[in-house]
Amino acid sequence: MSIRWNGSSPGSQSTMSHGLGFLLSGSIAFLVDATVLTVLTSLVGLHPVVARVFAISVALVAGWLSHRRFTFRLATPPSFPEFLRYAAVGWAAAALNYAVFVAIVLAWPGIVPVFALVLSSLVAMTFSYLGMRFAAFRDPSRPT
């Protein structure tokens, strides 16, 4: 049995390919985030709380480009207003993610930073998808 929610997948995408695109794009952004975080904490020696600000910034751009391509399959060229909408959603999700990350790191000082990153990223994932779907990449010609 296949479950398909009305309007859950933009355009002609199936729910499955849309969901897989979201997972792929989120994974790309997560790997960029984790890599930058690891490099800055392990090699540069920055505190995880400071390093995470830089990691989030780089991951934000990677996420925007990959979500355009794989999740929402946009044929239009990237635009500055679209990036600003995505950035607003992304930074709100990042703020939520960062707040949870900091709370975890401060509550458990010995935690491996990437484990705290995994937990905080899971919390922000739903918020992020909904913001992208209904704000950043919305198709004004289709009802939400």
Q: Which of 17-26, 30-39, 129-138 has the highest mean pLDDT?
A: 30-39
Determine the structural domain holding residue 41 and report its residue range: 15-136
Task: Let me know if residue 7 belongs to a domain.
Answer: no
Task: Let me know if residue 6 belongs to a domain.
Answer: no
- Decide: residue 37, CB within 10 A, 0-12 exposed, 13-18 middle, 19+ buried: buried
Task: Let me know if residue 50 belongs to a domain.
Answer: yes
Task: Let me know if residue 142 belongs to a domain.
Answer: no
Q: How far is CA 141 from the centre of its chain?
A: 25
Task: Let me know if residue 34 belongs to a domain.
Answer: yes
How many domains is the chain partitioned into structurally? 1
Cβ pair 64, 31 in contact under 8 A = no
- pTM comes to 0.71
pLDDT tens digits, one per residue of 41-77: 999 999 999 998 999 889 989 999 999 999 989 888 9
